[in-house]
Amino acid sequence: MSFIKTIFSKNPLGIIFYSRKFISGENKIDYQKRFIKFEIPNGSKVLDVGSGGEPFPYANFLIDRFPGKTQHRYNKLKTMNLPFSNGSVEDLPYKSKVFDFVYCAHVLEHVEDPVKACEEIMRVGKKGYIEVPTKTSDIIFNFARLKHFHKWHISKVGNTLVFIEYSGEERRDTGDQELFYMAHSKFSNPIRKLYRANKDLFTNMFLWDDLFYYYVFDKNGNLTSTNSKTNL
C-alpha cells in the first residue's frame, strides 16, 4: 500500500499512520463552536458569503462567486435549497443592513480588493463573523506557494483586521506537504491532535458587531487604506 506514509513517535505501538489518500478535516462549525459562541436569535436573516460546499448551518441566504469548479474550493457547491445568489463579496447584491448576521469564512484572503469586501460586509450586515487562515497556517501547510490563491495574510488585533499582501519571497515552495496530510489525516496522530486543539492559532476567528476596522498594506509595506481614525 504505497499511499500509506508512516512516522515514528513515542507511543505504545511505536508507529503512527497517516495517509495521503484518506483526508479528513473537521467541519468548520465543529471547531468554531469550540472557540466561538454564535448568538443568533431565531428568525434572524443570516447570509453566508462564499458559502461553497459547506454552508453555515444558521444561514438562510447564500452567495458564492464560483457556482462551478474552482481552485478556490475543494468541494462542490451546495445550496441546501436555500435562496442562492451568484456574486462577489466585493459587490454584494443586497440592500444595506438587510441581514442580521453575515458569515464570511475563508474568503477575504482571496479577494482583489479587501477594502470593497470589508465595506460591503458591513454595509449589508448588522453584525457577523469573519474567518481567515493565519500566515502560520499558509506557511506550514505550504499554501503560500500557490498562484492566484491567497493574495493576503491577515491578522486579527482586537476589533481590527490587518491585511498584508504576500511578497514574492513569501510565496516560495517550502518543499513539504507532509504536515498538511498529517494535520488532515483520517487517522489520529500527534500533528492532527495539535492542529485541532489549537485551531485558533491556525485560523483567525473574528466576531464583529455594527462595524470593524481594517488596515491594508501592500507587499512593499505601504499602508494603502484604512477605515480607522487612529493614525499609525
Distance between CA 230 and CA 182 in Å, rounded? 43
Angle at the Cα of 112 (from 107 to 116), degrees rounded to 5?
80
Whole-number pLDDT of residue 74: 62
Q: Rounded distance, CA 176 to CA 155, Å? A: 24
Give pLDDT tens digits for 130-149. Answer: 999 999 999 999 999 988 89
Q: Identify the band that residue 67 occupies on the pLDDT scale cut at 50, 70 and 90.
A: confident
Q: What pLDDT was estimated at residue 68? A: 61
Give the pLDDT of residue 8: 39
pLDDT at 1 > cutoff 50:
no
Residue 16: pLDDT band (50, 70, 90) is low
Q: Assess whether pLDDT exceeds 80 at residue 123.
A: yes
Question: What's the pLDDT at 10?
Answer: 42
Comparing CA positions, the residue from 228, 199, 58, 229 lying closest to residue 127 is 58
3-state secondary structure of 195: helix
Mean pLDDT over each residue of the chain, to the nearest integer? 89
At position 111, the amino acid (one-letter code) is V
Residue-level pLDDT at 186? 85
**Residue listed under C-alpha cell 461553497:** 52
User: Residues 76-91: what's their mean pLDDT?
Assistant: 94
pTM > 0.85: yes
Sort 87 into a burial class: Cβ within 10 Å, 0-12 / 13-18 / 19+.
Answer: middle
Which cell numbers in the block locate residue 101? 448576521
Work out whether strand 152-157 and strand 84-86 pair parallel, antiparallel, or are unpaired: unpaired
Of 64-78, 117-131, 160-174, 177-191, where does mean pLDDT reach its minimum? 64-78
Map out the domains of the chain with their CATH numbers.
26-67+77-226 (3.40.50)
How far apart, in Å, are the Cα atoms of 60 and each of 32, 131, 215? 19, 19, 31
SS3 per-residue string spanning 114-175: HHHHHHHHHHHECEEEEEEECHHHHHHCCCCCCCCCCCEEEEEECCEEEEEECCCHHHCCCC
pLDDT in the model for residue 4: 43
In this structure, the number of other CB atoms found within 10 A of the CB of residue 152 comes to: 22
Measure the CA–CA gap between 5 and 193, rounded to whole angstroms: 17
Average pLDDT over residues 210-220: 97
Burial code (b: 16+ CB inside 10 Å, e: under 16) for 195-219 equals: bbeebeebbbbbbbeeebbbbbbee
